[in-house]
Amino acid sequence: MPTIDFNPPADVADTVARALAEDIGDGDRNALLADAAAPAHAVVVARENAILSGRPWFDAVFAALDADVRIHWRYADGERMRSETPVCELHGPARAVLSGERTALNFLQLLSGVASTTHDYVERVKGTNTGIVDTRKTLPGLRSAQRYAVRCGGGVNHRFGLFDAILIKENHIMAAGGIESAVAGARAQSPDLFLQVEVETLEELDAALEAGVDAVLLDNFATHVLARAVHMADAHRRRFRRQIVIEASGDITLTNVREIADTGVDRISIGGLTKHIRATDFSMRMQVDAPATGDPAAGGAQT
């Protein structure tokens, strides 16, 4: 298994800017209820056991609103949070904390939900050599963020999009006139890209292997047929002394994922990691301190 990469993607600031523009528009009328000079202290609490993910986006929200907001984290991304425990504390101008609260928590609840679901699947296949892999079934505009969350949960990223690897599916095969012609066309156009073919029968698997693919995606195979498919692919690997990634997908659940992993597949791709999302429950509670004044009797700073 590869080392987990916790480096955030390059588009964090852009993603946060779009989210803030969506929520704040031309100004936060609600935050004006707080004194402009009032400092605030806030605590974010996890309401359930979960895997944390989303700190870079949370931090970027408040950095974009006011550089004076300071955040102290109790957990790192990828760590398991305990229910009803503080996750982080914020100190800074009340208006900035109020304006950023919902957007920051939205990122945290979404990405922690993805990481937690991924972690559950990873735990189920522990002890096998099978990786849990995401898909392109992501929320529009949030793919890089969700892929980061999958890594936080111990999962592995598939191709990012349609440009960095080729996955020939049934519609491509139909359009090209067959597996052999589809593979040949892909190799001719993009000889250096990783090439995978989705197959639905053992006959299609044999055709894909003979065409010289880098990986096969075994879609909706019954477990006993999946085991035969793995045996076929292994035999092909030994025969030609070349690496072929064997991936399973289709109707994967926590109930059957271990049985599928035990067939010997290299990885299992699950669209539900980023598509069927149950957000993690967080809450933020804030206290506003009285703003500093020039009146010594009021406890403020003298000027």
For the cut 90, the answer to whether the pLDDT of residue 48 exceeds it is: yes
Q: How confident is the model at residue 222 (pLDDT cuts 50, 70, 90)?
A: very high
Q: Write down the pTM of the prediction.
A: 0.92
Give me the residues paired with residue 228 across strands.
none
Whole-angstrom distance, CA of residue 154 vs CA of residue 123 = 9
Q: How confident is the model at residue 37 (pLDDT cuts 50, 70, 90)?
A: confident
Greater model confidence, 37 or 87: 87
Average pLDDT over residues 275-301: 73
Per CATH, is 12-121+279-298 categorized as 2.60.120.510?
no
Q: Mean pLDDT in the chain? A: 93
Give the homologous superfamily in CATH for domain 128-275: Aldolase class I (3.20.20.70)
Whole-angstrom distance, CA of residue 198 vs CA of residue 42 = 49
Identified catalytic residue from 47, 137, 187, 258 = 137
Average pLDDT over residues 167-193: 96
Min mean pLDDT across 122-126, 183-187, 292-296 is at: 292-296
- The verdict on whether 219 is a catalytic residue reads yes
Helix (H) / strand (E) element for 240: namely helix 223-240
Secondary-structure percent of the chain, ordered helix, strand, coil, rounded to 5: 40, 20, 40
For the cut 80, the answer to whether the pLDDT of residue 4 exceeds it is: no
12, 8, 11, 7: which is closest to 103 by C-alpha? Answer: 12
Whole-angstrom distance, CA of residue 36 vs CA of residue 16 = 23
- The verdict on whether 126 is a catalytic residue reads no
Q: For 227-263, what is each residue's pLDDT tens digit? A: 999 999 999 988 888 899 999 999 999 999 999 999 9
Look at residue 276 in the predicted model and tell me its pLDDT.
Answer: 95
Q: Do residues 42 and 287 make contact, with C-beta atoms less than 8 angstroms apart?
A: yes
290, 284, 292, 293: which is closest to 97 by C-alpha? Answer: 284
Phi, psi (5° rounding) for residue 263?
A: -75, -15
Q: Which residue type does 136 have?
A: R
For the chain, the structural domain boundaries read 12-121+279-298, 128-275
Look at residue 217 in the predicted model and tell me its pLDDT.
Answer: 98
Give CA separation, 213 vs 12, 235, 240, in Å: 35, 14, 12
Residues in the chain, overall count: 303
Identified catalytic residue from 77, 101, 134, 198 = 198
Whole-angstrom distance, CA of residue 198 vs CA of residue 192 = 19
Look at residue 179 in the predicted model and tell me its pLDDT.
Answer: 97
Identified catalytic residue from 59, 101, 219, 247 = 219
- The verdict on whether 169 is a catalytic residue reads yes
Q: How confident is the model at residue 288 (pLDDT cuts 50, 70, 90)?
A: confident
Identified catalytic residue from 169, 187, 228, 237 = 169
Share of the chain above pLDDT 70, in %: 94
